[in-house]
Amino acid sequence: MTASSNRDISISNGGGAPGKKIVSSDLADLLVSVRDRDELLEVRNSAVKIIDLKEPRRGPLAPADVSLWHFADKLWRDSSGQSEGLLSAALGEQEQAREVAASLPATFAFAKVGPSDCATEARLSALWHEIRLVLRDSTELVAVAYADWNSANCPAPEAVFRLASQHGFKRCLIDTYQKDGRSTVDHLGYSKLKKLHQVARQQGLWWTLAGSIRIPVVDELQALGWMPDCFGVRGDVCSGTRTTKIAHELVQAWCQRLVA
């Protein structure tokens, strides 16, 4: 599925019930990261396509408490398939991911592990293989690249995308490792991001642009004539910084922009 193809998305009327179907020829999905039960319930009652559980106070991809995983698992199972959003979980960087990956419930559609300190492609490949072995068959591992890969001591984004394709991944995400106010766009610029987008298209990868992304980026990419398949946000839907509470009106602003 590409950003330029027609997509159908069911907009929730609340409580996970499907509502009006909107068809757009220029539509990207939206991933929103949540850190507690209140935020999960808030975002669940929106048009957000992917609800990602993580703890932003402990790093770029730090996992949320396992109790939140189980709360989400029960909520989704009790909904009898009525929830429109797909569950995703950040597992942390490699050592933490090894500790928690096997505990992730099968209701989670996606999981992510940070590539920091995987200095070579061989080490990153080995990490992916190890985590994939312990995830449930229903959970797809998403390959993560860091825009500031030198700081993270891992392969560059283009190398990660190509390696992911070689290992049969369907989805990739690019984020920032250091949360210092600089975005993925600041690190790479639109020219390098377009090359990454082209690599994704060549390799048949669905990809998410994350890392301090704000709504004006959507307008800028639209003007440039290309879009990722999904935007991943946290800080831009919070009332203050990425570690503060999600604000309903900011989530709605993103939802409305991506279906406009």
| Full DSSP string of 183-229 | -HHHHHHHHHHHHHHHHHHHHT-EEEE-SS--HHHHHHHHHHT---S
Q: Where are the domains of the chain?
A: 7-258
pLDDT, residue 14, reads 32
Is 78 exposed, middle or buried (CB count within 10 Å of its CB: 0-12, 13-18, 19+)? exposed
189-209 tens-digit pLDDT: 999 999 999 999 999 999 999
pLDDT, residue 194, reads 97
Regions of the chain short of the pLDDT cut 50: 1-25
24-69 tens-digit pLDDT: 335 899 999 999 999 999 999 899 999 999 999 998 999 999 999 9
pLDDT, residue 242, reads 85
Class of the CATH-defined domain 7-258: alpha beta
pLDDT, residue 21, reads 30
pLDDT, residue 27, reads 80
pLDDT, residue 24, reads 32
